[in-house]
């Protein structure tokens, strides 16, 4: 054997991880992600419901029964046409 070349037979496989372990870790990661997403969505929904229920009495108390809207419809602008003249001269290359 040459000097400086590692002996591949003596290298142990301590760092190898089995495929079953990787599959279990990926499945656990997906399950934890889905559960976390559902928890966050439930909390956001609860917060939105609390804000709406807290704001609802204020809206009813301050709501005016009458409103006024103004709308002005402007006439369509007249189509203007334009004409022009173009001069095109071809010169021979000298």
Determine the structural domain holding residue 44 and report its residue range. 32-58
- What pLDDT sits at residue 77? 79
pLDDT per 10-residue tile (average), the chain, 94 residues: 54 72 95 96 81 61 70 83 80 79
- Give a yes or no: residue 49 inside a domain: yes
Kindly provide the b/e burial profile for residues 51-61, where b requires at least 16 CB atoms within 10 angstroms of the residue's own CB: eeeeeeeeeee
- Give a yes or no: residue 87 inside a domain: no
Total structural domains in the chain? 1
- What pLDDT sits at residue 21? 92
- What pLDDT sits at residue 4? 56
Cα–Cα distance measured from residue 41 to residue 43, given in angstroms and rounded to the nearest whole number: 5
Q: By three-state DSSP, how is residue 52 classified?
A: helix
Cα–Cα distance measured from residue 36 to residue 42, given in angstroms and rounded to the nearest whole number: 10
- Give a yes or no: residue 43 inside a domain: yes
Cα–Cα distance measured from residue 16 to residue 14, given in angstroms and rounded to the nearest whole number: 6
């Amino acid at each position: 054997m040459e000097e400086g070349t590692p002996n591949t037979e003596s290298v142990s496989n301590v760092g190898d991880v089995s495929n079953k372990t990787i599959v279990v870790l990926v499945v656990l990661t997906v399950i934890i992600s889905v559960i976390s997403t559902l928890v966050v969505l439930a909390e956001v929904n609860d917060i939105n419901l609390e804000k709406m229920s807290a704001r609802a009495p204020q809206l009813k108390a301050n709501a005016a029964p009458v409103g006024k809207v103004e709308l002005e419809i402007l006439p369509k602008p007249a189509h203007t046409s334009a004409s022009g003249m173009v001069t095109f001269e071809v010169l021979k290359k000298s």
